[in-house]
Structure 1
């Protein structure tokens, strides 16, 4: 069986780097043009990119079976995927709402709108991987092996 998670993780990492570059450009432009801190919506999408890169490394290593057993826990993988998916959803929605309530024109506006679009696609990819991780986490394959059952005697 082909592990489709590896190309999915590669696509997530690629889109994450794209959004990181776009939001960093918008944040830098805002700070230089207005001489003020960039809006929190842009900074949050920037945070989503950095957080996503960190979790993508962890999740990619798990997909390749390169993690020790203690770090490759299925609930931890599901939590990392779900948290990252939630951050992307909140990030692209917040920036889209921010841009819709402003007069927006010029190159920087187009770049900000592109970061919303790429953020939405990245959220979709993380939603797919979260659904897959949820199915993997909660499926049952029968009882535990005999060696895993607890001993009910005190041993005398």
Structure 2
């Protein structure tokens, strides 16, 4: 066990904290941009970019549960390629999500007093930080796969797992 153990838990906590913040912000944005009226038969839907960032936060909660619990409770499910794939897909989702919403907000030209637009901008900023965090953990997982390629060891790297409290 190397000194990665001391860094991975704070990174996972930051990833969880950011995804909860983004979940709240994007839920507000999606709800505010959605309007459904039976009386006027007017239908307006939230932009797919905001919906995708909402999906990214829900996906991340599920992936973080896998990344934290699988190595500790279900070691057979913590395959090194599975962990790398989960990290990489999540990193790509966050990159696509925050870039897409940022482009949409640039095209909309939000005013300075529109709260929904400010919430969407905050979600973009937190999404960028979330992408950076997942880029770092994806690099750690890729380094483990690279270093263990000749040994044939298929297990996860214990140096990058969250250790249970002793």
> What TM-score range do you get, normalising by the shorter chain?
0.7 to 0.9
Query: What residue is the counterpart of 2:93 in the other structure?
Result: 87
| Cα gap change, 1:99 to 1:70, in 2 (>3 Å) | same
Structure 2 residues not aligned, in runs of 5+: 37-41, 154-166
> Which secondary structure state, in structure 1, belongs to the residue aligned with residue 63 of structure 2?
helix
| Cα gap change, 1:142 to 1:99, in 2 (>3 Å) | closer
Matched, 1:37 2:45: yes
Query: What residue is the counterpart of 1:148 in the other structure?
Result: none
Map 1:7-156 onto structure 2 (within 5 A): 7-32=10-35, 35-62=43-70, 65-105=71-111, 106-140=114-148, 143=151
The TM-score with structure 1 as length reference comes to 0.85
> Which secondary structure state, in structure 1, belongs to the residue aligned with residue 76 of structure 2?
coil
Deviation of 1:143 after TM superposition, in Å, equals 4.7
Q: Render the CA deviation track for 1:21-49: whole Å, top value 9, x for unaligned.
A: 00000011111498521000000000000
| Cα gap change, 1:143 to 1:107, in 2 (>3 Å) | closer
Deviation of 1:107 after TM superposition, in Å, equals 1.0
**Bigger Cα Rg:** 1
Tell which deviates more after alignment, 134-143 or 43-52: 134-143
Bigger relative contact order, structure 1 or 2 (CA pairs below 8 A, ≥6 apart): 2
Between the two proteins, the alignment pairs up a number of residues equal to 143
> Which secondary structure state, in structure 2, belongs to the residue aligned with residue 38 of structure 1?
coil
The alignment yields a C-alpha RMSD, in angstroms, of: 2.0
The TM-score with structure 2 as length reference comes to 0.80
| Cα gap change, 1:46 to 1:143, in 2 (>3 Å) | closer
8 A contact 2:35–2:45 mirrored in 1: no
User: Which consecutive aligned stretches of 4+ in structure 1 deviate over 4 angstroms post-superposition?
Assistant: 141-145
Query: What residue is the counterpart of 1:149 in the other structure?
Result: none
